[in-house]
Structure 1
Amino acid sequence: MRQDEAQGAATTFADFVAGTVWEDVTAQDHEAKRSILNFFATALGSSRDPAVAVALKTLLPFSGAATSAIIGRPERLDAMGAAFVNAISANLLDFDDTHLDTIIHPAAPVAAPVLALAQARGFSGQAVLTAFILGVEVECRVGNAVSPGHYARGWHITSTCGVFGAAAACAKLLGLSVQQISNAIGIAASQSAGVVENLPSAAKNVSVGNAARNGLFAALLASNGYSASPKAIEGPLGWARAMGDAPDLAKLTDGLGKSWEIAKNTYKPYPAGIVFHAVIDACFKLRAQLDGRIDYIASISVRGSALLLARGDRPVRNERDARVSIHHCVACALLLGAAGVTEFSETTVSRPDIISLRRKVKAVLDASLPDGAARVTIHLASGETFDEIVMAAKGSLEDPLTDRDIEAKLRECARLGGTDWDIERVIDRVWNLDTLADVSGLMGTHG
């Protein structure tokens, strides 16, 4: 038996987290900043959304010392409350970063508690970046070990695995011992929840908020002496078996500290489920070929993997449905030539011409296509056929967003969110996060 199996995955992770210093993660620094910049973009875009307002209204009367900022807004909450609200806003638009191997959105459940805690306690940018990189590593490795069966069973993997990343990151920031970090990860296992059935509703975002808050709570409990099983993840009655299948232990810990999951992170150009991006890209290409003949379309078929159909072959009743709808993505891309936040808003969702075009779309299973690919075929009333296949969508590892693309995304999200935060200051301070003695200067950039 390998040593890491004998001592438990939580302890192996804890050894790694406790022993890693800034100099060990500097090669991942730039990707971490890209992820955090994207985190601010998505949180700013949602800062005035009713779901954020309701969460804030609910928590404000119960908040402790108001130490931590709500991104894009003037209000503050205690660190756990701010972690909850900021994770919600970062995940709300389905526009956040994506670890493609697991479909985890790494930043929301980890960046939110790390930044809230760092602001409350006055931690440096280097400490934040180190903790964030380590938290992403833990959450994605746990996700790797249970994918794809865990998600297929209905568990919302960003929430269920994000809590482990949040716990590890906050424990690192607090300077906990190996035993305490192991305990924090084990405590997180008892706070993991979130179901795919809730994806078309704001309840999805509650579980992401809970992942952030519960991870911070786990670290704080561990700092004060709470204990947990070192095999809370992989034990016979542990998290993995309770919520799916036996984990692949090699994927939990092999190569720990040598290969980095954050290097596999991707960033969305469209505020929709990642599996729909190839559909949108194919439709943009087809729109150029149609030369304005949208009214002559008789039918549209979209071929893709079982995952694409399972996530997106659904009726569209509201803007949340639209963000996970094959039919709506096709209609927007073809009719409007755009797929931004506005195109997935309630106003666009209810447009008669969009509804009419959605009805012409049929989703078809094509097992030969991998997840993330799509083939779109348009049949005109004249009998003409147009066909496009996209294997690697814009924003994928093969065709990634540039730093300037992510900056532009942040500016546009901030404009749509109606914030008064100084956006150029946010951008500058994220890129220079490792030089900040205290992250409060980043988290207080409004007015």
Structure 2
Amino acid sequence: MQTDRATAQTGDEALCAFAATLRWEDIPDHVRHEAKRSLVNIFATALAGCREPAVDIMLETSAAYSGPATSTVIGRTERMDAPTAAFVNAMGANIFDFDDTHEATIIHPASVVFAPIFARAEASPFSGIDALRAFVIGGEVVCRVGLSVSPYHYSHGWHITSTCGGFGAAAASGALLGLDAAQMTSAFATAAAQSSGLVDALGTMAKSASVGGAARNGLIAADLASRGFSGPARPLTGARGYLAVYGQGAKPEALGDDLGHRWEIADNAFKPYPVGVVLNPVLDACLEVYRDEEVRAGDVASVELTGHPLLRQRTDRPDIATGREAQVSAQHAIAIVLARGRAGLAEFTDAAVAETAASGRPQVRFHDEAGRDVASAVVTLHLKDGRILTREIHAARGSRTNPLSDSELEAKLTTLAEGVGFAGEVDRLLEALWTLDDLADAGDVVRLAAGG
């Protein structure tokens, strides 16, 4: 793969050539391992979300329109056509905000990339190496597109996983289909034309629809390109292309800069809590004072949070009413963690929200600090007895500088599978994920994740 020519190419040309020509041998061992870590994590969160009402509704609605049932719906007995399975598995994996995070963009790359790969794996079988290669390609593409429009894109209100996710899904699918660079450009053009997703949908089923849509749309975009479907020659960097329309002060150089040498997909972080990533350091701090100072929710008069501006923009939600909204509410998160001393899925349900609504949520004052890392925050608790307790978290648990171990990711999958009563063999699923590059048929993995 010729990556040193990227500076002489447009961003579109560099990224499409990368997606079309990256070989397995070009991927360093540490990137391969990080890809497997991402897959362990995303299968965990897909199992966690597989029986949520949004998934039920989507499956029921899609049944009347679906084609041949070729592909597994993770954690369930239903099988669907490949585009619908990609849609449903992506939305289920992201539904609890418990999936991976690329901290520089706040994209959740794995949900939109793994879903079309494993939907295709049963419809048109291919090897585990092919699946891992496609996953790395798709993950790198979605992160690169996200970097090119950040920070404006997300802060302006676009749900960046949904809007940029279609490019990753198209790249992964195109790699499996063997698209050349020109065909990959056409796939990106169709993905760009379908890009959508709003931050305002966070905490609602509509957010899951846009994530699922990105996975499905990218899969179809690649299929269309393989049959001669075309689009603009520069879908990303054209005068009215994606960067110009969806960004402000866009950075086209991010598309090809050091491509194939610096790996954004290897910078993924994995969450210990099912919340928006900016809440992770807040929960770390609250768990510390619960444990070390024996502070309880009823002891708190008010709270001050100093963090990245996204902490305020995404989580200043005092009057929530549902579990999905709770995932992006600092007021609820602080109240429930200081009441229960834990921060698992059970703390972000409708019942938990009713509990904090009845017992009371603290008044929270936010202080923006633009230069602060999203994995860092200062939490100051003003207690009713006059004491003031301050905790600063420099690197939240699960962040890139304080990552979850492989064994912790395995435990996450095991715990989440047990939580939904998954009847499959978790040990066999984990083994298949860690040895995916040894499998002749990548579909073996997703079949192990089917419900019984």
After TM superposition, the score normalised by the length of structure 2 is 0.95
3-state SS, counterpart of residue 184 of structure 1: helix
CA distance in 2 between partners of 1:364 and 1:153 (Å): 19
Q: Secondary structure at the match of 2:144?
A: helix
Residue type matched to 1:220 in 2? D
Structure 1 residue 339 and structure 2 residue 353: aligned? no
Q: Is the 8 A contact 2:291 2:341 kept in 1?
A: no
Q: 1:428 and 2:428 equivalent?
A: no
Q: Cα offset for 1:97?
A: 0.2
Q: Give the CA RMSD over aligned residues.
A: 1.7
Equivalent of 2:299 in 296, 301, 317: 296
1:389 aligned onto 2:392 = yes
* Structure 2 residue identity aligned to 1:280: L
Pick from 118, 126, 129 the counterpart of residue 129 of structure 2: 126
Cα deviations by residue, 1:259-317 (Å, 9 ceiling, x for unpaired): 11111100000000000000000111111233255433332222223211111111222
Question: Do structure 1's residue 55 and structure 2's residue 58 form an aligned pair?
Answer: yes
Which segments of 5 or more consecutive residues in structure 2 lack a partner in the other structure?
A: none
Cα deviation for residue 139 of structure 1 reads 0.7
- In 2, are the aligned partners of 1:11 and 1:230 still within 8 Å (CA)? no
> How far 1:418 sits from its partner (Å)?
2.5
Aligned equivalents of 1:128 and 1:369: distance in 2?
36
Partner of 2:374: 371
1:80 and 2:86 equivalent?
no
More displaced stretch, 25-34 vs 211-220: 25-34
- Residue 326 of structure 1 aligns with which residue? 330
Q: Match of 1:79, as an amino acid?
A: A
Q: Is the alpha carbon distance of 1:296 and 1:182 closer, same or farther for their aligned partners in structure 2, counting shifts above 3 Å?
A: closer
Deviation string, structure 1 residues 64-87 (Cα, Å, up to 9, x no partner): 111110000111111101000000
Report how far residue 253 of structure 1 moved: 0.4
Q: How many residues align?
A: 445
CA-CA distance at 1:6 after TM superposition = 7.2
Equivalent AA in structure 1 for residue 355 of structure 2? R
Correspondence for 2:177 among 174, 188, 196: 174
Distance 1:100 1:293, change over 3 A: closer
Alpha carbons 2:297, 2:335 under 8 Å: kept? no
Q: How far off its partner does 1:109 sit?
A: 0.5
Q: Is the CA contact 2:296–2:339 (under 8 Å) kept in the aligned structure 1?
A: no
Aligned mates of 1:150, 1:338 — CA distance in 2: 33
The runs of 5 or more residues in structure 1 that have no matched partner are none
Residues 156-208 of structure 1: CA deviation (Å, up to 9, x unaligned): 11011110011011000011122111211122111111011111211011111
1:193-235, Cα deviation, whole Å (9 max, x unpaired): 1011111211011111010000000000000011122211111
Q: Which residue of 1 aligns with 2:405?
A: 402
Do residues 19 (structure 1) and 37 (structure 2) align? Answer: no
SS in 1 for 2:390: strand
Matches within 5 A, 1:241-252: 241-252=244-255
Q: Secondary structure at the match of 2:380?
A: strand
Larger mean CA deviation between 283-292 and 190-199 belongs to: 283-292
Residues 375 and 219 of structure 1: CA distance in aligned 2, closer, same or farther (over 3 Å)? same
- Paired residue secondary structure (1:351): helix
Q: Quote the Cα distance in structure 1 between the aligned partners of 2:320 and 2:229.
A: 46
Note the 1:145-156 alignment, pairs <5 A: 145-156=148-159
2:267 partner amino acid: K
Q: Is residue 94–residue 271 contact of structure 1 (8 Å, CA) maintained in 2?
A: yes
Q: Does 1:106 align with 2:93?
A: no
Output the CA distance in 1 between the equivalents of 2:102 and 2:221. Answer: 24
- TM-score of the superposed pair, with normalisation by structure 1: 0.96
